[in-house]
């Protein structure tokens, strides 16, 4: 059903007839095809074209717009211009300062150039209008094409954001199929000029729509592919670009700060160290990770410092470094002998211990614990053990450690965190099989920060210490090759679970004789050398050492003795320097005799022995046992008018008050025998005082207090040459005490002539060095009466205490028992006194 303006393709001239003879100026277009209904701004520069516009403006504003076949051509001929174009109307004309013209032109209708009208100044053509071949609105095919175009255009618009929304709306509602096609093509910006021209030339609307649909679909296809590629590339770009960008930024910062190279070197150093180091697999892995982390960090950041320190810690620990162990027991014995005087039993115990280790070749079983007062050689013994077993030596003092973290370290999240002291010590010693001395294990305490003893338990337990986990390292460290040795001043302070794991070896204080020997053989030569002197240059006599022992030290061990000797040696060294300046060739020998000692050490710090002092009323020598060894414990008592109060001062120990009460009760029960004023206990106050503070003493001062009180009440002096120890019952029976050996050593040091000890302690006498026993008289007492008879300065004790059997005695190192009947007699007497 062909309709109005029908014009068969094959015969277009048939329709052109009515328009014949129309003349219009021609504007040749480059790079653009103008469609009907399209309003375009055109910049016109060519002279001929400008004139064409002017020509049109002087007429009816109509101008023919036809594309050049070759856009670059400046002076196209007719053949070089497409014969089909669009007749347009100039809406506005604007002359620009540079002589060009901007024209706003609206396309009106397709037109065909029939011929050129020759003209000098411009293009003039004769043309005919072309009419579309249109179809009725009911044509289903047309309808389908229209809809397809509309939806395709919609999809296209989605992909190409440059289509304005109002155009989209316009297109969707457009009913004129021809106009639809011409509008859509304008917005398909990527379509080539040839295709556009072809569309312009297609007057059959259906054909035009079909072709347009093809083009638009192809376009969508391309856009989709483009989009996919863009997305893929974008993702890739984003990732690499981001990394690139960040690392560039980082290096820019680092360069700015000028330490990038240094940092790189540092990391390289760490890597080299790691390559050379033998570590546990876990540690190796961890260090690698940390180095990787470090590389990403800013060199000056706090985090980098933390990581760097950590790596340094792990790398400087001995993971597999060890010294070769020596299991030769004979050699070990030689070394122990070489380093230490005496200590026979101790050395034997140590050698037994080492023999067991040598047999099993593995450190299993209990840890050695050396217990004794300061300065008796615990540390130096441990050092010897290290030397004897071919291990290095490291010492860690636990005194005052109260925080679990000190043993096990702080987590790395803490500011300034460090590994615990165990790990720190191992780093210091540099091997993983040293002798590790844990000093003063009895001085640890625990508080809210956790129990260090529990952590230590793990360290010492052979089952657990294979994988010791320090909080800072967070790596398992194998402690099983470490030989732990502990020391303590007294057993009391050692937590029970720890004590169970240890083999206790007790070292006691030294006698004067032992001290003298140690000094002459070890301390003096050692200190002479340490002061940079030679042994041929200096002589310190035995008597000089004895003077130092008596008047400059008061101790169980030899620590202060060594210090004083060292002090003398240093002073000699100075003197040697001064003398050698004055007389460079003279080789003088410096001889230090007893009388020279004060020149070097100043006035004596301690006075002569107790025996040379006056006997006094109410002043008694007790003996106490402390963790620093044994000591003389003086006790004073005074009686003043009052109401019978008993006050004990000077010592904070709990048991003292009870001891004093018991002592007083005994004296009340013996008031008559002792010849003390009746009802004294309600007329007088009794004040008992311990002038010297002695920390920690068990309740073993009962006899001492009783003697002082009795002396004060009886107004009879106590012998200064006597010292005593023992606890008493209300009835005056003397009970056994602990620490006898240390107490006797103390009495020996103080030059005491007679020591009263409980008879029940008789068996302990076996441990006492012979020299000590030989130097004093020891009386083994059972009853307080015996104590008073021995210690008070009485003209005739028998007149007071009756004919008591003589107590057992040790005289000149020999035990004397006075007859087997002695015991029964004593018992009888005791019963009597109890009845009284």
Judge whether 429 and 318 are in contact, CB under 8 Å. yes
What number of H helices and E strands is found in the chain? 31, 28
Contact call for residue 525 and ligand ADP (CB under 6 A): no
Residues 6+ away with beta carbon under 8 Å from 18: none
Q: Which stretch binds ligand ADP (CB under 6 A): 59-67, 229-237, 330-338, 374-382?
A: 374-382
Distance, CA of 758 to CA of 760 (rounded, Å): 5
Window 315-344: residues binding ligand ADP (CB under 6 A) = 340-343
Q: Does 562 bind ligand ADP (CB under 6 A)?
A: yes
Interacting positions 714-743 with ligand ADP (CB under 6 A): none
Query: Among candidates 186, 185, 237, which has minimal Cα distance to 213?
Result: 185
The whole-angstrom separation of Cα 772 and Cα 513 is 9
Beta carbon of residue 706, minimum distance to ligand ADP (angstroms, whole number): 35
374 or 452, CB closer to ligand ADP? 374
- What's the min distance (Å) between Cβ of 484 and ligand ADP? 16
Rounded to the nearest whole angstrom, what is the least distance from the CB of residue 556 to ligand ADP in the complex?
A: 9
The reply on whether position 558 binds ligand ADP by CB under 6 A is: yes
* Residue closer to ligand ADP, measured from CB, 377 or 758: 377
516 is a contact residue toward ligand ADP (CB under 6 A)? no
Residue nearest to ligand ADP (CB): 377
**Using CA atoms, how far apart are residues 739 and 508, in angstroms rounded to an integer?**
10
CB closer to ligand ADP, 343 vs 660: 343
Write down the catalytic residue from 384, 556, 700, 708. 700
Residues touching ligand ADP: how many (CB under 6 A)?
18
Applying CB under 6 A, which of residues 88, 107, 299, 377 lies at the interface with ligand ADP?
377
Q: At CA 830, angle to CA 826 and CA 835, rounded to 5? A: 150
Question: Which range binds ligand ADP by CB under 6 A, 124-132, 558-566, 668-676, 699-707?
Answer: 558-566
> Rounded distance, CA 208 to CA 215, Å?
11
We find the least distance from the C-beta atom of residue 440 to ligand ADP, in angstroms, to be 9
Residue 350 CB, shortest distance to ligand ADP, in Å, is 12
- Nearer CB in complex with ligand ADP: 171/518: 518
Task: Give the β-pairing of 777-781 and 754-758.
Answer: parallel
Residue 479 CB, nearest approach to ligand ADP (Å) = 23
Alpha helices in 8-62 (DSSP H): 13-16, 47-58
How many angstroms separate the first and last alpha carbons of the chain?
Answer: 159
Question: What single-letter DSSP state applies at residue 5?
Answer: T
Q: Which of 182, 163, 162, 164 is nearest to 174 (CA)?
A: 182
- Check binding of 572 to ligand ADP (CB under 6 A): no
Rounded-to-integer distance, Cα 215 and Cα 705, Å: 124
Among 379, 425, 754, 791, binds ligand ADP (CB under 6 A): 379
Should residue 107 be labelled a site residue for ligand ADP when binding is judged by CB under 6 A? no
Q: Does 374 bind ligand ADP (CB under 6 A)?
A: yes
Whether 251 is catalytic is: no
Helices of type H across 160-259: 165-173, 177-187, 193-201, 205-257
Instruction: Give the one residue of 131, 196, 378, 610 binding ligand ADP; rule: CB under 6 A.
Output: 378
Q: Which is nearer to ligand ADP, 63 or 376 (CB)?
A: 376
Q: With binding defined as CB under 6 A, does residue 376 bind ligand ADP?
A: yes
Q: Is 359 exposed, middle or buried (0-12, 13-18, 19+ CB in 10 A)?
A: exposed
Asked if 700 is an active-site residue, the reply is yes
> Distance between CA atoms of 118 and 120, rounded to whole angstroms?
7
Burial 43-69 (b: 16+ CB within 10 A, else e): ebeeebbbbbbebbeeeebbbbbbbbe
Q: Pick the stretch among 59-67, 256-264, 370-378, 412-420 that binds ligand ADP (CB under 6 A).
A: 370-378
- Residue ranges in 277-371 assigned as alpha helix (H): 281-295, 302-316, 329-339, 344-360
What's the min distance (Å) between Cβ of 669 and ligand ADP?
45
Catalytic site residue from 508, 743, 791, 833: 743
By beta-carbon proximity to ligand ADP, the closer residue of 439 and 470 is 439
Least CB distance from residue 373 to ligand ADP, whole Å?
A: 7
Rounded Cα distance, 408 and 418, in Å: 9
Closer Cβ to ligand ADP, 370 or 784, answer by number: 370
- Residues 340-369 close enough to bind ligand ADP by CB under 6 A: 340-343
In angstroms, give the least distance from the CB of 495 to ligand ADP.
20
Phi-psi region of 751 (alpha: psi -120 to 50; beta: other; left: phi over 0): left
Q: How far is the CB of 377 from ligand ADP (least distance, A)?
A: 3
Q: Which is nearer to ligand ADP, 38 or 376 (CB)?
A: 376
The contacts of residue 758 (CB under 8 Å, 6+ apart) are 725, 726, 727, 734, 735, 736, 737, 780, 781, 782
Residues whose CB is less than 8 angstroms from the CB of residue 737 and which lie 6 or more positions away in sequence, other chains included: 625, 698, 700, 725, 726, 727, 743, 757, 758, 761
Residue 549 sits in the site that holds ligand ADP (CB under 6 A): no
Residue 786 as a binder of ligand ADP (CB under 6 A): the answer is no
Whichever of 34 and 376 has its CB closer to ligand ADP, that residue is: 376
Nearest CA among 722, 763, 721 for reference residue 740: 763
Region near ligand ADP per CB under 6 A, out of 76-84, 446-454, 555-563, 655-663: 555-563
Which one of 64-72, 551-559, 612-620, 666-674 is the stretch in contact with ligand ADP (CB under 6 A)? 551-559
> What is the helix (H) or strand (E) element at residue 749, kind and residue range?
helix 740-749
559: contact with ligand ADP by CB under 6 A: yes
Question: Judged by CB, which is closer to ligand ADP: 34, or 336?
Answer: 336
The nearest distance, CB 293 to ligand ADP, in angstroms, is 44
Q: What is the b/e burial string over 487-501, where b = at least 16 CB atoms within 10 angstroms of the residue's CB?
A: bbbbeebbbeebbeb
DSSP 3-state assignment of 816? strand
Neighbours of 567 (CB within 10 A): 17
Q: Does 522 bind ligand ADP (CB under 6 A)?
A: yes
- 673, burial (CB in 10 Å: exposed 0-12, middle 13-18, buried 19+): middle
Q: Give the nearer residue to ligand ADP in terms of CB position, either 343 or 752.
A: 343
**Residue 35 contacts ligand ADP per CB under 6 A:** no
Q: How far is CA 77 from CA 32, 69, 123, in A?
A: 18, 10, 10
In the block, residue with structure tokens 């010294």? 323
Shortest spacing between CB 375 and ligand ADP, in angstroms: 5
C-alpha pair distances (Å), 519 with each of 106, 385, 589, 608, 709: 125, 21, 20, 21, 41
CB distance 317 to 426 below 8 Å: yes
**Smallest separation, CB 695 to ligand ADP (Å):** 17
Q: Could you give the CA distance from residue 405 to residue 417 in angstroms, rounded to a whole number? A: 10
Region binding ligand ADP by CB under 6 A among candidate stretches 201-209, 447-455, 556-564, 815-823:
556-564
Among 375, 622, 629, 739, binds ligand ADP (CB under 6 A): 375
Residue among 376 and 482 whose Cβ is closer to ligand ADP: 376
Question: Judged by CB under 6 A, which stretch of 275-283, 372-380, 590-598, 673-681 contacts ligand ADP?
Answer: 372-380
81 or 343: whose CB is closer to ligand ADP?
Answer: 343
Active-site annotation, residues = 700, 743
List of residues contacting ligand ADP (CB under 6 A): 340-343, 372, 374-380, 518, 522, 557-559, 562
């Amino acid at each position: 059903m062909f309709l109005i303006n029908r014009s068969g393709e094959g015969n277009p001239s048939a329709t052109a007839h009515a328009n014949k003879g129309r003349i219009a100026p021609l504007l040749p277009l480059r790079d653009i095809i103008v469609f009907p209904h399209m309003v375009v701004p055109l910049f016109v520069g060519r002279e001929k074209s400008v004139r064409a516009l002017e020509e049109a403006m002087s007429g009816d504003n109509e101008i023919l717009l036809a594309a050049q076949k070759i856009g670059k051509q400046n002076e196209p001929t007719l053949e070089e211009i497409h014969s089909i174009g669009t007749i347009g109307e100039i809406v506005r004309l604007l002359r620009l300062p540079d002589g060009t013209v901007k024209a706003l032109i609206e396309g009106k209708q397709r037109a065909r150039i029939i011929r050129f009208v020759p003209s000098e100044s411009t293009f003039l053509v004769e043309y005919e209008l072309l009419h579309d071949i249109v179809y009725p609105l009911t044509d289903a095919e047309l309808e389908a094409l229209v809809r397809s175009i509309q939806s395709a255009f919609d999809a296209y618009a989605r992909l190409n954001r440059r289509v304005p929304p109002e155009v989209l709306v316009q297109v969707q509602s457009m009913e004129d199929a021809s106009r639809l096609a011409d509008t859509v093509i304008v917005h398909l910006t990527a379509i080539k000029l040839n295709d556009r021209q072809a569309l312009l030339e297609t007057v059959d609307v259906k054909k035009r729509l079909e072709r347009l649909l093809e083009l638009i679909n192809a376009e969508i296809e391309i856009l989709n592919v483009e989009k996919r590629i863009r997305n893929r590339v974008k993702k890739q770009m984003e990732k690499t670009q981001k990394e690139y960008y960040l690392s560039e930024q980082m290096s820019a910062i680092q360069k700015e700060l000028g330490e990038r190279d240094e940092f790189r070197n540092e990391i390289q150093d760490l890597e080299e160290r790691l390559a050379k180091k033998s570590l546990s697999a876990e540690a190796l892995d961890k260090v690698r990770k940390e180095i990787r982390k470090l590389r990403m960090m800013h060199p000056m950041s706090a985090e980098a410092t933390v990581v760097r320190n950590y790596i340094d810690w792990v790398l400087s620990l001995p993971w597999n470094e060890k010294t070769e162990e020596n299991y030769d027991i004979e050699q070990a014995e030689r070394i122990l002998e070489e380093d230490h005087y005496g200590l026979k039993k101790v050395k034997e115990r140590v050698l037994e211990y080492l023999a067991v280790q040598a047999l099993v070749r593995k450190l299993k079983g209990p840890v050695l614990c050396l217990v004794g007062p300061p300065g008796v050689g615990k540390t130096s013994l441990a050092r010897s053990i290290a030397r004897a077993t071919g291990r290095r030596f490291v010492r860690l003092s636990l005194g005052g450690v109260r925080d679990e973290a000190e043993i096990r370290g702080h987590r790395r999240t803490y500011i300034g965190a460090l590994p615990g002291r165990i790990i720190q010590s191992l780093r210091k010693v540099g091997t993983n099989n040293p002798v590790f001395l844990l000093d003063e294990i009895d001085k640890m305490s625990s508080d809210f920060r956790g129990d260090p003893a529990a952590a230590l338990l793990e360290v010492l337990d052979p089952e657990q210490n294979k994988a010791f986990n320090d909080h800072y390292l967070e790596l398992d460290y194998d402690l099983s090759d470490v030989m732990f040795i502990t020391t303590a001043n007294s057993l009391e302070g050692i937590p029970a679970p720890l004590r169970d794991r240890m083999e206790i070896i007790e070292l006691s204080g030294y006698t004067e004789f032992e001290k003298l020997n140690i000094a002459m053989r070890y301390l003096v030569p050692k200190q002479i050398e340490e002061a940079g002197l030679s042994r041929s240059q200096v002589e310190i006599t035995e008597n000089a050492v004895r003077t130092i022992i008596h008047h400059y030290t008061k101790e169980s061990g030899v620590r202060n003795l060594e210090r004083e000797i060292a002090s003398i040696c240093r002073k000699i060294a100075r003197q040697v320097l001064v003398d050698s300046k004055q007389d460079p060739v003279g080789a003088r020998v410096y001889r230090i005799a007893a009388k020279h000692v004060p020149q070097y050490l100043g006035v004596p710090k301690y006075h002569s022995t107790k025996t040379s002092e006056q006997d006094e009323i109410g002043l008694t020598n007790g003996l106490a046992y402390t963790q620093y060894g044994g000591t003389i414990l003086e006790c004073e008592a005074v009686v003043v008018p009052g109401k019978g109060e008993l006050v004990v001062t000077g010592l904070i120990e709990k048991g003292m008050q009870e001891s004093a009460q018991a002592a007083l009760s005994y004296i009340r029960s013996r008031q008559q025998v002792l010849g003390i004023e009746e009802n004294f206990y309600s007329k007088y106050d009794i004040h008992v005082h311990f002038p010297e503070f002695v920390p920690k003493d068990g309740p073993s001062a009962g006899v001492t207090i009783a003697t002082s009180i009795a002396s004060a009440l009886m107004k009879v002096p106590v012998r200064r040459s006597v010292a005593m120890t023992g606890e008493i019952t209300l009835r005056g029976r003397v009970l056994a005490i602990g620490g006898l050996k240390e107490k006797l050593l103390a009495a020996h040091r103080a030059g005491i002539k007679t020591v009263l000890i409980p008879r029940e302690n008789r068996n302990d006498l076996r441990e006492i060095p012979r020299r000590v026993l030989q130097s004093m008289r020891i009386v083994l007492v059972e009853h307080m009466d015996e104590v008073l008879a021995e210690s008070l300065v009485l003209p005739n004790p028998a007149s007071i205490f009756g004919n008591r059997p003589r107590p057992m005695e040790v005289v000149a190192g020999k035990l004397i028992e006075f007859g087997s009947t002695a015991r029964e007699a004593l018992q009888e007497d005791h019963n009597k006194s109890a009845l009284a």
